[in-house]
Amino acid sequence: MSGPDAGLSWWAGQAQGQAAILAALDAPAWLVEADHLTVLQANEAAAAFLGRPQQALPGLDAQALLPSLEDLAFWGEAQAGHATTLDSEIDLPRPGGGEARMRRRISRLPGEGPGLWLVQLQDLSREHAAQRERERALAELRATLEATADGILVTDLSGGIRAFNRRFAQLWSLPPQALEQRDDARVHAWMALQTTQPEAWRARLAALREHCLTSANDTVRLVDGSLLECHTQPQWSQGRPIGRVFSFRELNRLRPGAPRRDGDGEPDAGSRLPHRATFVARVDDALAQARDSGASLVVLCVDVDTQALWGAPDAALPSEDRWAAVVRLLRAGLQAPAMLARLGAARFGVLLENASEAKAEAVARRWQALAAAEPAGSISPPVVGVAAYPQAGNSADELLAHAEKALARAQALGESCRTHQSSGESRTQRQQRLEAALRDGLAQPQFRLQYQPRIDMAQGRPCGLEALVRWKDPLAHRELLPAQFLPLANRAGLLATLDEWVLSQAVQQLARWRAAGLMLPVSVNLGAASLLRPGLARRIEALLVHAGVPAQALSLELSEEALITDPEATAITVRALRALGLGVVLDGFGRGESSATLLQRLPLSAVKLDRSVLHDATRHAQGAAWLRATAALVRALGLDCQAVGVETEGQRLALAQAGGLSWQGFLHGAALDAQRVPNWCARVAAAAA
């Protein structure tokens, strides 16, 4: 029933009128007397939902009918004369069992005399069930999209973007802002500017929209040299077209460091700079001259933060000026002779002839200074990778490939400029030798575990241990950290086997410690390959039973990447692990990729903050605010909040102020060998007493 509050006020305070109002409402409703907060009248629907006789409801305390914290707080405000209206959703128990998702609205009725509150309930259970089913179907669609090696884009009939997979984003070099903002017009504009013929691409899309039943195959060349096969066909539902599915496949993905040449000579439409192919041809020409003259040259690969080109709604530069501003900054840092080209997305190439690595580094420093002088937030300082002839290679392909690798290394390390270092041994040869050594290491005692203690923030005592694997590389004759060999193990297909070995060793060590009286729990890192192996929970249960270790003593640390590789399968596995009693920790939360939906969708036990969150908290106010907000979110969901990478007392204090529960890091020491753990823990516990 609907109607203005003025129509209800005439009946306020009159029992017959009250009963008529409530009887006319189909959904549960009751009136509450404002002075004493007691129920005056209730309709049959309310009695049925609450599971009480209708005649027994008058006189009851209104706060007892819906005893949620939100309701209790509202009635407290009502008694103090501060409440106005409460309108929100709430889960309420049904008399016959189960819960119902209800919309509960409490509003004041106008009128003379004692005040009245009208409480109305609306059952939203069916709508929420339908929403969950839609979310499940969407998750299945996303899993299907991610399972293909092609880039997939799904649009509606007008070209609006409905879905795409990560491979599509990779092929088209979509910036992170595109994935976050999901601005269809900007995505389409970005795609057009990645092609060597933007107007032809836009015209082709327009033609496909006009002929919605058309299937087509096209070849699209991008400015980064990629040659894409584009297959598109209508998407059907219930006998009618509802959209269009695009499938993109890279035809020349096995090309060396540079692409095939376009030969069109036309400048890039966005930046008005030469294409990557033109740049590669010019480098080849310069190399031919350098070989004859004995001169040197340097190739730079420059990456500009895509925010400067993609543009945020509050960006300092208008959209049409962003390309020009970036190009102007790059040109200002160069001195002739130098060639500037666009390699693709927000990446640029520079050729410096008769130049050294030192000159390239000087150019990078000038760009840093120029970017710092730009209006705040308009252009981020460029990151530069450098490759010099003849040290880094003898062809344009080699030089550009090495410059891009140096750039990737600089970005990973947070550096502004990095120069390629020649190793004297080809990457392929070393890859093969390291893989062979790694395979031997699984069968020989080349691996061992160390344990990083975790400290309880309130008591200052050890509260857990993280198992960390180490490998003594027989080739390098030194011990390597996980970051140095786990990617190699993953490429070799050995990561799951290594995870199983770590699990077995950690559980056996747990049993020995518990027998000696040390009852600290241990956590072990697992990768996506291990998480998706069938029967993981059963194997871990058998391992624990054989060792006599309770499940509560073991936790598994999982990255977001592992949890989203196959969302449905991982959700089933995580639930099975939690059912055994194991802890499940989301590792690396807060670095920017992690989704808060994982915290709600999966039955996790704890969240481990990424080290970057803590480091930023001691550098600027925004980082500190992000740490507090992240820790508050974790606590609000009933999860333990842990931190890693605590290296200074300032970082520990920032974590304490944010409400972190436990931490680990070099502030209290490096990882320990198993035999040193008991004495170390006893010493720290005694000092904290």
Output the DSSP codes for 296-328: -EEEEEEE--HHHHH--TT-SS-GGGHHHHHHH
Distance of alpha carbon 212 from alpha carbon 235, whole angstroms? 9
Among the candidates 92, 123, 154, a domain finishes at 123
Distance of alpha carbon 572 from alpha carbon 379, whole angstroms? 44
Mean pLDDT confidence for 203-214: 87
- In the predicted structure, residue 69 carries a pLDDT above the cut 70: yes
Tally the domains of the chain: 4
Read off the pLDDT band of 140 (50, 70, 90).
low
Read off the pLDDT band of 1 (50, 70, 90).
very low
Mean pLDDT confidence for 57-84: 84
Per-residue model confidence as pLDDT tens digits over 407-457: 888 888 888 888 887 554 444 554 566 677 667 776 666 788 999 999 999
Q: Tell me whether residue 428 is in a domain.
A: no
Q: Tell me whether residue 436 is in a domain.
A: no
292 with 365, same domain: the answer is: yes
CATH number at residue 305: 3.30.70.270
Cβ neighbours, 10 Å, residue 215? 12
Read off the pLDDT band of 613 (50, 70, 90).
confident
How many residues comprise the chain? 689
Q: What is the DSSP letter of 552?
A: G
Mean pLDDT confidence for 477-487: 67
Q: Tell me whether residue 425 is in a domain.
A: no
Q: Tell me whether residue 132 is in a domain.
A: no
193, 195, 397, 399, 567 from 265: Cα distances, Å: 16, 14, 19, 22, 46
Question: Residues 210, 215, 217, 223: is their CA dihedral positive or negative?
Answer: positive
Distance of alpha carbon 19 from alpha carbon 320, whole angstroms? 65
Range in 2-16, 156-170, 241-255, 450-464 with the lowest mean pLDDT:
2-16
Among the candidates 123, 154, 181, a domain finishes at 123
Per-residue model confidence as pLDDT tens digits over 14-51: 566 667 778 778 889 999 988 888 998 899 888 888 88
Contact status, residue 349 vs residue 343, Cβ threshold 8 Å: yes
pTM check: above 0.75? no
CATH number at residue 68: 3.30.450.20
Distance of alpha carbon 142 from alpha carbon 163, whole angstroms? 8
pLDDT value of position 434:
62
412 with 295, same domain: the answer is: yes
29 with 103, same domain: the answer is: yes
Structure-block tokens of residue 568: 């449905």
491 with 624, same domain: the answer is: yes
C-alpha triplet 38, 44, 46: angle, nearest 5° = 55
- Specify the DSSP element, H or E, that contains 290: helix 276-293
Mean pLDDT confidence for 173-185: 73
474 with 595, same domain: the answer is: yes
449 with 574, same domain: the answer is: yes
Range in 119-123, 369-373, 594-598, 682-686 with the lowest mean pLDDT:
594-598
Q: Tell me whether residue 38 is in a domain.
A: yes
Three-state secondary structure call for residue 648: coil
- In the predicted structure, residue 377 carries a pLDDT above the cut 60: no
Range in 34-38, 374-378, 504-508, 612-616 with the lowest mean pLDDT:
374-378
Q: Tell me whether residue 440 is in a domain.
A: no
301 with 409, same domain: the answer is: yes
pLDDT value of position 553:
96
647 with 675, same domain: the answer is: yes
Among the candidates 96, 123, 150, a domain finishes at 123
User: Phi/psi class of residue 95: alpha, beta or left (left: φ > 0; alpha: ψ in -120 to 50)?
Assistant: alpha
Question: Between 289 and 633, whose confidence is greater?
Answer: 633
115 with 148, same domain: the answer is: no
pLDDT value of position 549:
95
Whole-angstrom Cα Rg for the chain: 32
Per-residue model confidence as pLDDT tens digits over 328-367: 888 888 876 788 888 877 789 999 887 878 788 888 888 8
Cβ neighbours, 10 Å, residue 6? 10
464 with 567, same domain: the answer is: yes
- In the predicted structure, residue 211 carries a pLDDT above the cut 60: yes
Q: Tell me whether residue 168 is in a domain.
A: yes
Range of the domain at 395: 276-419
- In the predicted structure, residue 517 carries a pLDDT above the cut 90: yes
412 with 508, same domain: the answer is: no
Q: Tell me whether residue 37 is in a domain.
A: yes
- In the predicted structure, residue 272 carries a pLDDT above the cut 70: yes
pLDDT value of position 257:
37
pLDDT value of position 318:
46
pLDDT value of position 415:
84
pLDDT value of position 566:
83
450 with 561, same domain: the answer is: yes
Could you tell me how far CA 298 lies from the centroid of its own chain?
A: 36
C-alpha triplet 558, 561, 567: angle, nearest 5° = 90
